Structures are given as structure tokens and as C-alpha cells.
Amino acid sequence: MFDAETQQAFMQEFLSENREAMDRVERGLLLLESDPTNHEWLNSVFRDMHTVKGNCRMMEFTRLEELTHTAESLLHLLREGKLVLRPAISNRLLAVLDAVRRSLLSIEQTGSEGDEDFTAQILQMGQCHEEVERPREAGPEILLETHPSPDFVPESAPHGGEKETRSNRLDSVRISIERLDTLMNQIGEMGATFNQLKYAISHHPQQIDQSLEGLEQHLQKVQGEVLQYRLQPIGQILDSYHRLVRDLAIETGKKVLLELTGEETEVDRSILISIKEVLGHVIRNAIDHGLESPDVRVELGKSPVGHLRIGAEQKHGQVYLDISDDGKGIDLNKVRAKALAKHLITMEQALAMKEPDIMRLIMAPGFSTAEQVSKISGRGTGLDVVQTAIDKLGGTITITSEAGLGTLFRLRIPQTMAIVPVLLVKTSQETYAVPQVNIVELVSFYGDEVARNIEGKMRSPMVRVREQLLPLASLRQALAMPVAGVDTALDLEQLQAKLELHVVVLQSEESLFGLEVDAIQEPAHLVIKPMGHMLAHISILAGTAVLPDGSVSFLLNVPELIKC
């Protein structure tokens, strides 16, 4: 018998290996629906199911072993060419994956495989075995060209139940022994430098600064190494949406092709967890509201198969996520009318609103243009949840749409919210942190230089930097949240009258602008925490951090500053 610690290690390995195998099986089955006779994919799916069965036998989970053994036998018939994968068979195999995942969750939480009855699933797969003796005359079917059988109900929980069975993979990480050794060596060097510092304090005070500098360097190396452990390819969650899109396509009677790009883009693990559900809401909205049914698309001269694209890339320390579809687009008049009917805006506001403002109304709590409530959407929740989640991450959302051509959601989020290199600045006797990834340069003007380099264009202050005029935002004014439309002429005169002016030149997407502050302080590496609930609505603040003196500083949300 193994001791408790060893048994626990075996159990964690069992759960981790089986979950990864289930993911590979699911991905393989979804690929096979477009190419049912691909032997490479069939062999891979069969091997992974065989592995899961063997693991269940080793750990003596007999009911799971029986279920996966039956699925393995069915996959063997497919691999031997005695059956061809069609929607009914694919549905049953995918349902097995869902059942295994539920059981793995039960094992993790209680130590037992639960009391779910697999008899019906085993019998359904047995019916497929019987078809070997009485083969179907019809040729292979492709899922996107057919409707599901009446008794099929998607079990991948497209409305959020997936979170409990899959998110725990994002809460743990596997690292190699080599990387652990590297981290251990760095910690050992930190310990040695710390001892040198203690010795210097007692015997050689003149060497304290040198020892502190060495300790800081080692600390930054450890922080960088740990940060690398936290970064994970975003494809880890993007791949899981193939199943979600498949099930939603079946439920809505639509044909949908999901295309992914940029899966290798790395994102902090904690942010991956936060955006996983966010992307699910946007995908549901695109399929339910954006993409037309196949017959409507054909009438419009489009392909009957709608395209849903998710792309990820990293720029300037930010991750850009684009979710686009080639559907009907957003009807701005309909959005405005619905917002008026729900009293979200007044008639005066409706007449004054520009296109981007109208577009953002779909993110308002309680907003929906659905004609009738469905399982997927129309309950008055969804995109407002997306807005709230992105705000908490210090990110932004932009929406663009063209009637008849489709809609694009662009999410911009920080790559990591753990340890962020920042520049500390001061305004109104308070210290704020500016992410270094957004900083282009620092400029200070003194005496007559101030008036020569500050101009007014379109009643807005501009700063001249290297012969280029840039919009100038005031951090003091942004923090006071001025009312739009207030005359800024006095502000311009006050700026030009200053004896000294300190400007941080920042980049937000493709735009450059200057941020006027009272003083520029030193750079720092800060551990950033999310904004508290009471302050989460302040869009120009992206997080909080404790400074070396014990005071609290706010991390500025640069994309929001340019709007002030």
C-alpha cells in the first residue's frame, strides 16, 4: 500500500492526464466530423480513449472503465472501417466525454466517481455495434450539413456549466525539473546575497548599497521566472470553443465554421480564467444574433455556412482579441429604438448619440434585441457581463459593424496583471503608476519653453514633441472626470503660464498622446491587484499596488486616458 501523500500524487496525475486526453479526444472528434475517414485522427482518438480506460482500471473506477471501454470498442469499429462517423455516433461519443469529465470532477471533490448511471449511454453505443451486421445504405454525413437527432441534447453546457469541469486545468501548471532547478538556483543566490547584506550591515556599511543592488537583481530574475510559469498560450482555451460552436450550431439550426489564429499568444493564467467565460458570451451572441440561418444566407447570396473568427495577438504589452462574424451586422436604428423602449436613454440623448455610442448600448445591463427568449440569449444578461469582466481586468472593448457584412468585437486586455513594470508619477500630492509598455518618452519644459510648445487646436490643448503636435491630456483633469463640452480655453492659458511642465508621452494602440503630470518619479516593479468593487466603475484606473512606503497607488488605464 502507498502512503497518503503518494496516493494523492497518483490521483492528481490520474486527473490531469485524463483531462488532457479528453480534450484531445474532443478535438479529434470535431475534426473527424469534417473528414470521417481520416486514419491519423481516428488512431489518435482511439489511443487517447484507450489510455483513459487503462487509467480508470488502474485506479479501480470500474463504472468509468466500462463506459470508456464501450467507447473504445466503438472507436475500434470506426478505425477498422466497419462504421463511418456520422452525427448520431459523434453525439454519443461526445456525450461520453461529458460524462467522464463530470465523473473526474466528482473524483477530485469527493474521491468517488459519483452515482451517475451510464447504462443508457452504453446501450446507445451498443446499438451502433449492431449496425455492423446491418450496415446503412446512406453515405457519410457531415455534421454541419445535418440537424441533430430529436433525442440529442448538447451536454457540453454551452450556457456556462462547462466552467466547473474545465477551469481547474487553468488553476494548475506543469513545469519541468530543469525549470524548477533554475528557480531553486536563483533562490539560493538570493539567500547568499541576503547573507552578504546582513554581514555588510554589521561589518561593512559602505557595501550595503552594492548588496541591495545584487538582491534586487536576483529578485527581479525570480519574478521574471515565475511570471513565465504563469504565461500560457491562449490556444489552451480557444480550442475548447470548437465544441461550444458545434453545439450552438446544432441548437440554432445554423451552419458555423470556427477559425482560430494566434493560438500561440501567451497570456497570464489568471487572465485566461477571467476571459474564458467572456469569450463564451461573445460567441453565443455572434451565433444567436449575428449569423443568419442557412436559407437566409443563401437568399442573400452568401455561403450557407457562417464564419466565426477568433484571432489573438500581442502588441505593446497588451493582448488583442478579435471576435468577428460575417453575419447581418448590428442594426443601429433597432438598437436605439430598443434602448429608448427600455428607458436606457432619453430621446434627447438618442438624437445626439454618434454611431460608436449607439453601438456600445448593446453592452448595457438588461439590453437585448432578441424577438423572443431562447436558451442561448435574450434573458437580458450576457454582453453587460462581458463589459464588467473586461473593466475589472483594466481592458477595453470596441465594436464595429457593417450592415449585411458582419460584426467585430475587439477586446484589449493586459498580458499580465501580476508584476508590472511601471513609472511612478505624482499629481495632486498622490502617486500613480503608468505601465512602462505604454511609455514612449518623458519630456519636461521649463520657463519660456512651456508657452512655445503648448498650442490649442480645435479648442483642445496640444503639446509639441520633436516637431510633432500630440493631444495633451491632464491627469489632474482626468481624475476629476470633467463634464464633456466644458470650455478648455482657460485650461490652455493655465498650461501656457506654467513655469515648468512635465509630460509622459504615451502610446494607445496606434495613437500617441501626452499626459501632463505634476512630477515624474522613479520606475518600479509593482504587484498589481484588481480594483475593488467600490472603484471598479472608474475606467481610467486599472488596478492597485502597495508602494514601498506602505501607501496605495493606482495603476492607470492608458487607453481610457486618451478619452479624457
The tens digit of pLDDT for each residue in 199-244 reads: 889 888 888 888 888 888 888 788 777 777 778 889 888 888 998 9
Q: Is the pLDDT of residue 143 over 70?
A: no
Please report, rounded to a whole number, the percentage of residues in the chain having pLDDT higher than 70. Answer: 83
Q: Is the pLDDT of residue 362 over 90?
A: no
The Cα 166–Cα 159 span in angstroms is: 14
Q: Is the pLDDT of residue 331 over 70?
A: yes
pLDDT given for residue 228 in this prediction: 76
pTM of the model: 0.65
The CA-CA-CA angle for residues 203, 204, 206, to 5°, reads 155
Residue 500's H or E segment, with its range, is: strand 500-508
Q: Which long-range contacts (CB under 8 A, 24 or more apart) does 226-230 make?
A: 226/183, 226/418, 227/268, 227/416, 227/418, 227/419, 229/173, 229/175, 229/179, 230/173, 230/268, 230/269, 230/270, 230/416, 230/418
Listing DSSP states for 314-372 in one string gives: EETTEEEEEEEE-S----HHHHHHHHHHTTSS-HHHHHH--HHHHHHGGGSTT----SS
Q: Is the pLDDT of residue 252 over 50?
A: yes
pLDDT given for residue 455 in this prediction: 85
Of the listed ranges 209-223, 365-379, 521-535, the least confidently predicted one is: 365-379
Q: Is the pLDDT of residue 423 over 60?
A: yes
pLDDT given for residue 559 in this prediction: 76
pLDDT given for residue 287 in this prediction: 92
